[in-house]
């Protein structure tokens, strides 16, 4: 794939659509095994996780429900250090098996602030599925139960991830070019 330009930055191809979809099918199969006979509730974190949540959900065979919440902590290419809840959750979580669906876990601050709120609602279980994880950047102690790809601590766009509002519609994932 040729490099792409978004705003003032150039990005190089990193994960192809086929690679992403293959890994999502593998994660869905693992979740199907882990939740056989149960009906988990998936909570996708908007905006970034919408594509991953949709594709993961389409590949599941267990009975499941999906809902979304909007949390934000990014501006441009940097985390702001603040987590903003823009749209709240309206499902009752008491006694439910809950799987939080994230696009990417880098510092982990968003989840570290959001998970205690979920725990307060007394779910039967609480797990995390993330398409991408940046282990080098993670600063909070989180258990990531389903990880698509561990990636270097470089800025990425595409497949739901944006750079200042654009790039979410790309079918592949691109990383910031070394020459940017």
- Indicate if the pLDDT at residue 37 is higher than 60: yes
HSE of 164, CA atoms in CB hemisphere, 13 A: 7
**What pLDDT does 47 receive?**
87
Task: Give the mean model confidence (pLDDT) for residues 18-30.
Answer: 98
User: Burial level of 40, CB count in 10 A (0-12/13-18/19+)?
Assistant: buried
The pTM score is 0.90
Residue 178: how many CB atoms within 10 A of its CB? 8
Q: For residue 79, is pLDDT > 70? A: no
**pLDDT surpassing 50 at residue 157:** yes
Indicate whether 80 pLDDT > 90.
no
List pLDDT tens digits, range 50-78: 999 999 999 999 999 999 988 755 555 45
pLDDT at 91 over 80: no
* Residues assigned a catalytic role: 106
Residue 163 has pLDDT above 90, yes or no: yes
Reported as a single tens digit per residue, the pLDDT across 105-128 is 999 988 998 898 889 889 999 999
Distance CA 69, CA 48 (A): 11
Distance CA 54, CA 26 (A): 15
CATH fold label, 6-71+83-176: Rossmann fold (3.40.50)
Q: Sorting pLDDT into bands at 50, 70 and 90, what band is 98?
A: very high
Domain ranges of the chain: 6-71+83-176
For residue 166, what pLDDT band results from cuts at 50, 70 and 90? very high
């Amino acid at each position: 794939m040729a490099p792409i330009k978004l705003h003032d930055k150039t990005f190089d191809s990193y994960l192809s659509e086929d690679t992403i979809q293959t890994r999502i099918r593998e994660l869905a199969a693992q979740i199907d095994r882990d939740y056989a006979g149960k009906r988990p509730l998936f909570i996708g974190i908007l905006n970034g996780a919408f594509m991953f949540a949709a594709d993961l959900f389409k590949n599941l065979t267990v009975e499941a429900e999906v809902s979304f919440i909007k949390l934000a902590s990014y501006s441009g290419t940097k985390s702001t250090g603040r987590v903003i809840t823009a749209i709240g959750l309206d499902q009752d979580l008491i006694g439910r098996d809950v799987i939080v669906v994230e696009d990417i876990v880098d510092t982990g601050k968003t989840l570290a602030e959001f998970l205690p709120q979920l725990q307060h609602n007394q779910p039967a279980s609480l797990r995390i599925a993330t398409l991408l994880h940046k282990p080098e950047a993670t600063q909070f102690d989180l258990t990531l139960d389903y990880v698509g790809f561990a990636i270097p601590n470089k800025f990425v766009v595409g497949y739901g991830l944006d750079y200042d509002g654009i790039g979410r519609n790309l079918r592949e994932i691109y990383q910031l070019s070394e020459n940017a």
